[in-house]
Amino acid sequence: MKFLIGLLAGITGGITGGGGGIVMIPLLVGILQLDQHTAHGMSLVALVFTGLAGAITYAVNGSVDVTASLLMASIAVAAAHSGARFAHALPGWKLKRSFGGYLIVVAVLLLLKPYLTALPSPGGGMMKITVLLLTGGLAGFTSGMMGVGGGAIMIPAMVLLAGFDQHVAQGTSLLVMVPTGSAGAYTHWRLGNVRTTQLRGLVPGVLVGSFLGSTAAHSLSDSSLRMIFAAVLIWTGMRFLRTKRPAFS
């Protein structure tokens, strides 16, 4: 079962350029009965392997911008530490609802991208660098806090604000997830939110699934890939929005 969970998460992460945590975390909680904090920590460990396998496959197809990856990762790593500690210390139901709404807004913007011709392009100067650095910081914090790859933030920002092709944005996002996921996973491990005995089944499934998903992504058009990613965002956003308020709040 752990292999199948990893396989499904890896395929999703490879196709969408995300880490697969949006699939893995609900399955870890619902099927393996892990608590939410542990599921986030486990997801981030698996995320490292998703990013590594996916980024290599995208790079072989020429769909990774290494410079952009380094810029975002330089901020995302530190932010992931902070996000992981924040998640450990604070009940997250309000933040989950807010994040769910954000995902749906981003999905709508991606679907409307062909019609958003008035969006300014930052070009190749300091403005573009600033966009990438800010994106890396926000994505890193979200990754550490929510146990996801941060692709839901990085990919739309690269496509809508920095003018990246959808395939390149997804490949670049996967590469950033390797150091970012490592930072968040290490912090969660120090906080006791990682069960190493569960990784033996998850990691092989993630590696196989990431390769399959990343390979399949390059057989899809830019618009098809964007619509699939938007659909995943909406589905995930609805799950976060339905987070119940605890009775004692």
> Is 88 within 8 Å of 224 (Cβ atoms)?
no
Measuring CA to CA, which residue among 52, 45, 3, 5 is closest to residue 26? 5
Measuring CA to CA, which residue among 167, 106, 146, 132 is closest to residue 20? 146
> Is 240 within 8 Å of 99 (Cβ atoms)?
yes
Provide the residue count of the chain. Answer: 249
Q: What is the pLDDT of residue 172?
A: 94
DSSP 199-223: HHHHHHHHHHHHHHHHHHHTTS-HH
pLDDT in tens, the chain (249 residues): 889 998 988 888 788 777 777 778 878 887 888 887 888 888 888 888 888 888 998 999 899 999 999 999 999 998 988 888 887 776 657 667 777 787 787 788 778 766 654 455 555 678 888 989 999 999 889 888 777 778 878 888 888 888 888 889 989 999 998 998 888 888 889 888 888 888 888 889 988 988 898 888 878 786 787 788 788 879 878 887 888 877 655
Measuring CA to CA, which residue among 172, 159, 132 is closest to residue 233? 159
Measuring CA to CA, which residue among 42, 31, 9, 26 is closest to residue 151? 9
**Cα atoms in the Cβ-side hemisphere of radius 13 Å centred on 215:** 7
> Is 72 within 8 Å of 179 (Cβ atoms)?
no
The alpha carbon dihedral of 228, 233, 236, 238 has a sign of negative
DSSP annotation of 92 reads: -
Q: What is the pLDDT of residue 118?
A: 47
- Enumerate residues 6+ apart whose C-beta is below 8 A from 196: none
Q: How far is CA 171 from CA 30, 35, 40, 65, 108, in A?
A: 30, 31, 23, 8, 22
Q: What is the rounded distance in angstroms from the CA atom of residue 129 to the CA atom of residue 115?
A: 25
First to last CA, the chain: 35
Side chain identity at 58, as an amino acid letter? Y
| The two three-digit tokens of residue 245, written as one number | 């308020």
Longest dimension (CA), the chain: 52
